[in-house]
Structure 1
Amino acid sequence: EAFELVLRHGRNSTLLVLKAEFPGLGGGAQGAVGQLFLDVSLYILGSDSSVEHMVQAFFTRLFPLTYRHLLGGGAALISEECLRGSWKDSIAFGPYPKLIMTRLSRSLLATRVFLQALNLGIEVVNTTDHLRPGRDCGRALLRLWYCPHCQGLLGAPACKGFCQAVMSGCLGGAAEVQPHWRGYVEGLGKLAGAMRGEQDMEAVMMRLHVLVRLALRHAVKARPRLHTLVSNRQAYARTHTQSWHLTATSTSTRVLFSDPASQRCATRVLFSDPASQRCATRVLFSDPASQR
């Protein structure tokens, strides 16, 4: 719950900054930011996603909004697919996406491992909670209750080793877990102590809005260059598509009518009416060379 609270505050602070400094982005930015923080939440819980993928997906959603609403490209007939693929090639957001990837990777990995270790400890504790003492253990615990040393009466003769002996007998095989449990607790403490600076998820997520804002400012400053790159990309895609259609049409014609039998079949199907045949002949073969 503590980590979820950190993510909620980080998301809200990012949305507030975008709304205050880039109001033109509208509600689309809220969806992009919300999805990013949802991906982060799923990642620290153990999902198969990667930090690189979630950051790239965030800027892929953000660039069309940036281009149309902040860079003045709203009236341009640019396809959504073209815009989604343009930000990375054009380095529209500068070095900030890579910087965000680096910081998130370090902090989220530490958080993910920490949560996995906590869940493992919870499973061990839940397992030992279900252990029930036997009859001999019950009698030993009854004697232990009247041990002055265990009641805090330190002036009385101490029952040396009695408490430990009783608990070892009651827990049985569970007592063998103690060295491993001690090592687990020590390792967990070291991991928690190392979650500072770049590995502190709270510090990174609460300052994520700073890097997002710098990325958007970089895109706004590069407006002329981005307009040119996106327009060229769209023109190339349109030309390539038209060329492909022409090639495909020509190929289909050669395949369908490459033998005389196919030609006669097509003639019977398309021009079964004599009037249609005469009309097609005049249109298609008005040139003597074409008739031959």
Structure 2
Amino acid sequence: MNPLRNVNELEKDCMNQIQTDLKPFGNLPQKISLLMERSFIAWKTILKTLDQANEILFKLLDVVISPQCINQLTKMQQCHVCSGSSPLSKPCSGYCLNVLKGCFAEMAEIDPQWNSMIG
């Protein structure tokens, strides 16, 4: 145990043979091993989940918006209620909702699955 003391080969062999009987550290190595194994399993699960979320996000970001939807979204930006520029304007919220539901219907379909994955 003394790092300053030189140990010869015969003593090393003797210590290696009786180390399992002496157990100088008690059951601490087994406890540490078990705790590390549990933490590595948890991290493996977290990393796997993050990888799956990453793949899903890349698929979501690969959405192509049609030219018709681009025109409707441009018109929607001119609506005072949709853009939030004038609260005194005549409401056109129905138009806003119809455009959003029509152009982003694919996103609305995956919303429940996305929320359950995040949960």
> TM over 0.5, yes or no?
yes
> Are residue 170 (structure 1) and residue 103 (structure 2) matched?
yes
**Cα deviation digits, residues 147-202 of structure 1 (max 9, x gap):** 222322361344335444323322343431111111222x2xxxxxxxxxxxxxxx
- Determine which of 153, 160, 164 is the counterpart of 2:93: 160
Judging changes above 3 Å, is the alpha-carbon distance between structure 1 residues 72 and 172 closer, same or farther for their aligned structure 2 residues?
Answer: same
Partners of 2:97 and 2:27 in 1: CA distance: 60
Structure 1 segment 270-285 matched on structure 2, within 5 A: none
| In 2, Cα distance between equivalents of 1:154 and 1:107 | 54
| Per-residue CA distance 1:67-89 (angstroms, 9 max, x = gap) | 6x64957213346xx94x87556
Distance 1:131 1:118 in 2: 21
Residue of structure 2 aligned with 1:149, choices 77, 81, 85: 81
Specify the alignment match of 1:129 in structure 2: 61
Please tell me whether the aligned partners of residues 82 and 93 of structure 2 are also in contact (alpha carbons under 8 angstroms).
Answer: no
Query: Helix, strand or coil for the counterpart of 1:93?
Result: coil
Question: Who is 1:97 aligned against?
Answer: 29
Q: Residue 175 of structure 1 aligns to which amino acid in structure 2?
A: A
Using structure 2 for the length normalisation, give the TM-score: 0.70
Change over 3 Å in CA distance of 1:75–1:131 after alignment to 2: same
Paired residue type of 2:92: C
List runs of 5+ in structure 1 lacking aligned partners: 1-66, 188-292
Amino acid across the alignment from 1:149: V
Q: Are the equivalent residues in 2 in contact too, given 1:87–1:93 (CA < 8 A)?
A: no
Q: TM-score, normalised by structure 1?
A: 0.33
1:110 correspondence with 2:42:
yes
State the Cα RMSD in Å: 3.1
Q: Choose between structure 1 and 2: higher helix proportion.
A: 1
Name the structure, 1 or 2, with higher relative contact order (CA <8 Å, separation 6+).
1
**In 2: Cα distance, 1:86 partner to 1:159 partner:** 85
Larger radius of gyration: 1
Whether 2:7 is the aligned partner of 1:74: answer yes
Rate the CA distance shift 1:109–1:178 in 2: closer, same or farther, 3 A: same
Percent of residue pairs identical: 25
Query: Residues 76 and 95 of structure 2 are in contact (CA less than 8 Å); yes or no, is this contact kept in structure 1?
Result: yes
Q: Which amino acid aligns with 1:133?
A: I
Q: Secondary structure at the match of 1:74?
A: coil
Per-residue deviation at 1:132?
1.2
* Residue 128 to residue 87, structure 1, CA distance change in 2 (3 Å): farther
Distance 2:67 2:19 in 1: 72
CA gap 1:180/1:158 in 2 versus in 1, 3 angstroms: farther
